[in-house]
Amino acid sequence: MRERAKGTVGELGEFGLIRELTSRLTSTTAVRIGPGDDAAVVAAPDRRVVATTDVLLEGRHFRRDWSTAYDVGRKAAAQNMADIAAMGAYPTALLLGLVVPVDLPANWPTEMMDGIRDEAQVASAAVVGGDVVRGDSVVLSITALGDLRNTDPVTRSGAGAGDVVAVTGWLGWSAAGHAVLTRGFRSPRAFVEAHRRPEPPYHAGPAAAGLGATAMIDVSDGLVADLGHIAEASKVRIDIRSADLDIPAQMSDIGQAVGVDPLQWVLTGGEDHAIVATFPREQKLPARWRVIGEVLAPSALPHVTVDGAPWTRTGGWDHFSDDIDG
């Protein structure tokens, strides 16, 4: 365990904070030049690089009283690397744009960096660079890079009528945990933990590409909304069979306690970063994939239906609407 950084980030200063942050990092063989130069250099053996950026704001995407800095870091890294995995690629590197208030305790960004580093290690990636500036509230912008290892990327647009829809990872757990936390509770712990620290099935993305997935996305806006992105891009309709969705007994108990149909969490909860993909019907899928629906020709119905009918309740987050910090 490293010593905790002392004082505020203002007391540490820009260069002091950057030193503290970079001293915590680990590297991988893919990192040719890490932090400290004008730019980083990362191996891209496939001759193509996969890249994605996400921005997280304090008070909007995380709350400092609900999540530790460490968990915020893990979550931020996880959601970016899930996007890389959902293209069928292996995460290789992360870059961090960080805004911090001067009066922020210095151990907040350093512990957040520990979280980013540890989550990167889960996916065999490393933090290779970034920028830190002073501002009014905490903003994290993370860019993840990945390598396709000679597999073609799996986009949102390749689903065809007759394909099956399958999912791996967790669905609705983060939303159930969020519901628990908003009501001031701290348990059941598994759901609260799922909200604080998602565990995307990184390996499943490239594996799905290898299994011939025709379209793929990570579930960040909710299953219905994200399948909607696939259906729209692929010009198809997708029907989800609710009976095939996994609703654990404990999630039902929480639903009953807080007066929410847990199906709502599973269908519209984001942030677990499950991976959902479409596959040719004849493709045999490993046990960790659960077939939850099918791809149909487009019709007058919405892009995504549940048991053949429109899903009328809230469908995914719009980050511009109020009071959602999901």
Residues between 82 and 141 with contacts to a second copy, criterion CB under 8 A: 83-84, 86-87, 89, 93, 95-99, 102, 128-137, 139, 141
Polymer length in residues for the chain? 326
Select the span of 110-118, 243-251, 303-311, 313-321 touching a second copy (CB under 8 A): 313-321
Contact with a second copy (CB under 8 A) among 72, 106, 148, 209? 148
- Binding to a second copy, residues 196-235 (CB under 8 A): 216-218, 233
Shortest approach of a second copy to residue 254 CB, angstroms?
28
147 marked as part of a ligand binding site: no
Shortest approach of a second copy to residue 50 CB, angstroms?
5
Q: How far is the C-alpha of 188 from the C-alpha of 179, rounded, in Å?
A: 11
Shortest approach of a second copy to residue 307 CB, angstroms?
26
Q: Is 325 in the site for a second copy (CB under 8 A)?
A: no
131 marked as part of a ligand binding site: yes
Q: Are the C-beta atoms of residues 50 and 147 closer than 8 Å to each other?
A: yes
Sequence-distant (≥ 6) Cβ neighbours of residue 246 within 8 angstroms: 171, 266, 290
Number of residues this chain uses to bind a second copy (CB under 8 A)? 72
152: tokens are 């073609």
Select the span of 52-60, 106-114, 184-192, 299-307 touching a second copy (CB under 8 A): 52-60
Shortest approach of a second copy to residue 5 CB, angstroms?
15
Select the span of 47-55, 112-120, 159-167, 191-199 touching a second copy (CB under 8 A): 47-55
Q: Is 49 in the site for a second copy (CB under 8 A)?
A: yes
Contacts 24+ apart (CB under 8 A), 14-22: 14/132, 14/133, 14/134, 17/100, 17/106, 17/109, 17/132, 18/132, 20/106, 20/109, 20/110, 21/109, 21/110, 21/113, 21/130, 21/132
244 marked as part of a ligand binding site: no
Q: How far is the C-alpha of 19 from the C-alpha of 194, rounded, in Å?
A: 31
User: Which SS3 state, helix, strand or coil, does residue 175 take?
Assistant: helix
- From 206, 185, 204, select the one nearest 272 (Cα to Cα): 204
- From 244, 243, 266, select the one nearest 191 (Cα to Cα): 266
Q: Is 145 in the site for a second copy (CB under 8 A)?
A: yes
Binding residues for substrate, as ranges, are 61, 271, 317
Binding residues for Mg(2+), as ranges, are 38, 52-54, 83, 131, 218, 221
